[in-house]
């Protein structure tokens, strides 16, 4: 029996930085516009999962696009501003902690990506999605790219927008409730965050009660 080749790239197959090759192939095949979509915030104990969808202008691609996790905060802020200034379309959507608890983080992440694509002001003909799954319910064709934020500039742009927007949401949460230091850890399970949880307990509607350690 023949085996289907995995889309997962090896370490040596990954480009140094993401490029525009997937998008240009789609353009040649008449599948344009192409949107990239990615999410931020699958792992934290608190806050929403946030997704972005971006349609880049092939003639005005910002320099330095990369997986948001490989950029420092100052670089993300610069790329974020450049993306908003040059992209054909940008959209952001989120799914709350309550909705994450009602489903699961995987489904919530895919739903956030679907919403981001659905609210783009330009309708794409193809969506490149980071990860192994194509978000259900897309209004067009979709393709999942494992490590897509390190392979596709459109997905990298979406990862930057999603990360910056989610961080800003969590910074605001830190202003509204100073006990947890959300502006420092963005809801991840740091020592500061866990210590605050031991002292004050979780915040309903903000902490993900389906996540450990809350289930315990």
In whole angstroms, how far apart are CA 59 and each of 28, 41, 55, 143, 214?
A: 15, 31, 12, 23, 48
- Length of the chain, please? 216
How large a percentage of the chain has pLDDT more than 70?
A: 93
The percentage of the chain sitting over the pLDDT mark of 90, rounded to a whole number, equals 90
**CB count, 10 Å around CB of 182?**
28
Give pLDDT, residue 81: 98
Q: Mind listing the pLDDT tens digit for each residue in 60-100? A: 999 999 999 999 999 999 999 999 999 999 999 999 999 99
Beta bridge partners of 92: 52
The hierarchical CATH code for the domain 21-167 is 3.30.420.10
Q: How far is CA 81 from CA 62, 99, 111, 180, in A?
A: 10, 30, 25, 29
Strand order in the sheet with 89-95: 89-95, 49-55, 34-40, 126-130, 141-145
Res 3: pLDDT? 40
What value does the mean pLDDT of the chain take? 93
Domain ranges of the chain: 21-167
Query: What residues contact residue 120 under an 8 Å CB cut-off, 6+ apart?
Result: 35, 53, 55, 89, 90, 91
Determine the Cα–Cα distance for residues 69 and 166; give it in Å rounded to an integer.
13
Residue 20 half-sphere exposure toward CB, CA atoms < 13 A: 18
pLDDT (average), residues 6-10: 59
Give the pTM: 0.92
pLDDT at position 213: 83
Mean pLDDT in residue range 102-120:
97
- The pLDDT confidence band at residue 16, using thresholds 50, 70 and 90, is confident
pLDDT, one tens digit per residue, over 18-57 is 999 999 999 999 999 999 999 999 999 999 999 999 999 9
Which pLDDT score is estimated for 7? 66
Q: How far apart are CA 43 and CA 6, in angstroms?
A: 25
CA dist 46 and 192 (Å) reads 13
């Amino acid at each position: 029996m023949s085996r289907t080749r995995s889309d997962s790239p090896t370490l040596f197959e990954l480009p140094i930085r993401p490029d525009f090759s997937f998008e240009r192939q789609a353009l040649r095949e008449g599948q344009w516009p192409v949107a990239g979509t990615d999410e931020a915030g699958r792992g934290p104990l608190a806050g929403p999962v946030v997704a972005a969808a971006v349609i880049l202008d092939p003639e005005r691609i910002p320099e330095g696009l990369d997986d948001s996790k490989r950029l420092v905060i100052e670089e993300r802020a610069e790329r974020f501003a450049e993306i908003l200034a040059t992209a054909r379309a940008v959209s952001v959507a989120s799914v709350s902690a309550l909705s994450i608890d009602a489903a699961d983080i995987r489904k919530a992440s895919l739903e956030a990506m679907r919403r981001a694509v659905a609210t783009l002001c330009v309708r794409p003909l193809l969506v490149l999605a980071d990860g192994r799954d194509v978000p259900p319910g897309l209004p067009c064709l979709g393709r999942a790219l494992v490590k897509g934020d390190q392979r596709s500039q459109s997905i990298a742009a979406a990862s930057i927008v999603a990360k910056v927007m989610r961080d800003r949401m969590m910074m605001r949460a830190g202003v509204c409730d100073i006990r947890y230091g959300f502006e420092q850890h963005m809801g991840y399970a740091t020592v500061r965050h866990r210590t605050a949880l031991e002292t004050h307990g979780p915040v309903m509607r903000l902490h993900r009660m389906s996540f450990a350690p809350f289930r315990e």
